[in-house]
Amino acid sequence: MTSESYIRFLPEPWRSAAAGVGATSSWWRWPASETRPSGPVDVHILRASRPAAPLRVLLLHGGGGHSELVWPLGAVLAGEGYDVLAPDLPQYGRTRVADPGRVRYRDWVDLVGDLIAAETEDDPRPLVVFGASLGGMLGYDVAARGAQVAAVVATCFLDLAGDPAARRAATRTPALTRLIPLMSAAARVGVLRRTRFPVRWVAPMSKISLNPELAQACVDDARGAGSDVSLGFLADLMTHEVPAPESYRGPRVVLVHPAADTWTPPEVSMRFARRMAARTDIHLLTGCGHFPVEQPGVDELAGYLRALGDELIDPGSAPSGSVEHMQ
């Protein structure tokens, strides 16, 4: 599956517009460290470079995703005038890891933080983090820890360690949530932590889209939802504690949760977002499933992104306080 494979599921006129967005591959070496046992990582990054664009977006995929899978969102962002980059996080996409069995979710948090530092070192343009699915909480997590980002946009927030409802939504069966303590104990055993099994055994990947053809394409994608995940990564993901939203002092947050999401209920994301101390705008995308490619939600998403861009470029145009827009 390529970016073109997924772009075909966008509605018109977005599909035709996305076909004209040039996406190029690039690589970034994330060096090894003493505290990270997985070794150096060669990170594949898909880009739509817009040197004249006033704003940039770092697009983050979720579990079972990769840069080409979320590129329909990248194309919408590029169409709204953003310079876009989307990395393949370790264990997914084309990114190369010396020892995939030792990758942990905390590596994702550290990698994204370091990538933001590298991308902003010589580029003063404001950088927005846009997280799809699990990438939403990843973007929030990184921003809460001090990354230099101008805003966080997320399609959902799943506090897997702190919210039982989020754990139930994320896992395929209720029994899996009860096995988390056992999984964490097993992940401390060297041999077991490297054990790999299909992502679809854990998460209800068939609910990724309201379109059965798109959902099946994701499940069949060997570089994404059709791949395997290690027990060590999964246990770390399910027990990772994110910074408390009540103490969040990072940049503004925009939640754009699909209103017809049958995988992660909008209420789970909204409950987390409403606890944030910083400005938080909450919107529901009309008619959209977990992978938001339906109308009129795509038009609404583009509108929210356009408004965010205008406010970041001209802070004086931003309304005060948080906003909730329900359909």
User: Hey, what are 137's tokens?
Assistant: 């909480």
Between the two ends of the chain, the Cα-to-Cα distance in Å is: 33
Residue (of 120, 112, 104) closest to 143 by Cα position: 112
User: Hey, what are 322's tokens?
Assistant: 């948080």
User: Hey, what are 37's tokens?
Assistant: 């046992």
Residue (of 146, 142, 155) closest to 61 by Cα position: 155
Mapped onto helix, strand or coil, the DSSP state of residue 18 is helix
Residue 187: phi and psi, rounded to 5, are -70, -15
Residue 37, pLDDT > 70, answer no
DSSP per position, 69-86:
TSHHHHHHHHHTT-EEEE
Residue 243, pLDDT > 60, answer yes
- For the chain, the average pLDDT equals 89
pLDDT at 3 (0 to 100)? 76
pTM of the model: 0.92
Confidence band for 288, pLDDT divided at 50, 70 and 90: very high
Residue 190, pLDDT > 80, answer no
Confidence band for 176, pLDDT divided at 50, 70 and 90: low
Would you list the domain boundaries of the chain?
Answer: 3-161+244-325
pLDDT at 183 (0 to 100)? 62
- Cα(88)–Cα(200) distance, integer angstroms: 19
- Cα(45)–Cα(93) distance, integer angstroms: 10
Burial class (CB in 10 A: 0-12, 13-18, 19+), 153: buried
Q: What is the mean pLDDT of residues 58-77?
A: 93
Would you say 123 and 224 are in contact if contact means Cβ atoms under 8 Å apart? no
| Domain at 3-161+244-325: CATH code | 3.40.50.1820
- Cα(279)–Cα(150) distance, integer angstroms: 12
Sign (positive/negative) of CA torsion 114, 253, 318, 51? positive
